[in-house]
Amino acid sequence: MTAETQQRILSAVDEGFDAQLATTQAFVAIPSTRGAEGPCQDMIGDLLRERRYEVDDWHIDLDELRDLRGFGPIEHDFSKARSVVGTYRPATNSGKSLILQGHCDVVPTGPLEMWETPPFSPVIKDGRMYGRGACDMKSGTIAALYALDAIKKAGLKPTARIHFQSVIEEESTGVGALSTLQRGYRADACFIPEPTNGKMIRSQVGVIWFRLKVRGFPVHVFEAGAGSNAIMAAYHLVHALEKLEIAWNERAKADRHFKDVNHPINFNPGIIKGGDWASSVPAWCDVDCRIAVLPGWSIAECQKEILACVSAAARDHRFLSNNPPQVEWSGSCRKATSW
């Protein structure tokens, strides 16, 4: 590309920047947490139609995905789940095709009182936009759309197919991205404008989600010695999994891409639920966990290691040895990738 062409594109980006910001702000203002992504997909569909892309907006049928590699179980109402793809087709095809993909699902806000400004009323302060999902990754999705606009405004025409994709479930199972593959979308390259400090990333951890289910024996706290406290027993398992995390981080030192990364494997017990009453010894405790895996590690083998770690810890525990905990694969089950 000549310096002159580059300059024309950059000027077009600058010209469109206020509109890009306004669109980003409107996109961030939609509270698209898991299961509530519909209005975001509506907005993307409209933006694509306005720009005359060929729009494919479909309902995700889990039965079509269930048997595919990379599927993660869905436990919430999925009846309104959609994927949206806008396709650009050149008059003559001569270049390499491209997928631009962004996810519109955002993680929960956490306690509202901890936000300086409401999470879904994005504000711009000191050159940054604050709002849930502004960074991860609604600004990236909208930037990709406006980048294509800028190319057009600069008088250029891409010479290969481009699929602009808006997906859901990135923060949990990846089923949205999977649905685009099932639908048949392929390209020579895929660019995902996730927040990576402006750097190109060539290696990415995978993720396994799982739920520890501990079932105790309910008694009144008065005779606590006779029952087993499911919450306390769950702690025992969490501590054992912390040791697995240490072992996996040791193994990571042999990885080509991650050997210089400090602590690339993070084990996170993210949700803990259990018990029903302060004066009853809790009869149940569920802990939702996430752990990372590195490129080349088989998900099935890692799952076996998690199960072995949990059963060894259970055998070591007075109550759990007779009441083995269960492990459920509760969502993400995503292989790591590298290029």
Give me the least distance between CB of 201 and Zn ion, in Å please: 12
Nearer to Zn ion (CB atom), residue 105 or residue 286: 105
Nearer to Zn ion (CB atom), residue 207 or residue 237: 207
Nearer to Zn ion (CB atom), residue 148 or residue 177: 177
Interacting residue with Zn ion among 30, 85, 100, 137 (CB under 5 A): 137
Stretch that binds Zn ion, among 70-78, 136-144, 282-290, 297-305 (CB under 5 A): 136-144
Name the amino acid, one letter, at 143. Answer: A
Nearer to Zn ion (CB atom), residue 136 or residue 288: 136
Task: Write the interaction track for Zn ion spanning residues 138-177; mark x where CB under 5 A is met and - where it is not.
Answer: ----------------------------------------
Map tokens 């590699």 to a residue.
69
Nearer to Zn ion (CB atom), residue 194 or residue 305: 194
Stretch that binds Zn ion, among 56-64, 87-95, 135-143, 311-319 (CB under 5 A): 135-143
Stretch that binds Zn ion, among 6-14, 84-92, 128-136, 217-225 (CB under 5 A): 128-136
Give me the least distance between CB of 102 and Zn ion, in Å please: 8
Is residue 136 within the footprint of Zn ion (CB under 5 A)? yes
Task: Write the interaction track for Zn ion spanning residues 180-199; mark x where CB under 5 A is met and - where it is not.
Answer: --------------x-----
Give me the least distance between CB of 189 and Zn ion, in Å please: 19
Give me the least distance between CB of 84 and Zn ion, in Å please: 17
Nearer to Zn ion (CB atom), residue 42 or residue 194: 194
By CB under 5 A, how many residues form the interface with Zn ion? 3
**Hey, what are 329's tokens?**
């694969």
Residues that bind Zn ion (CB under 5 A): 136-137, 194
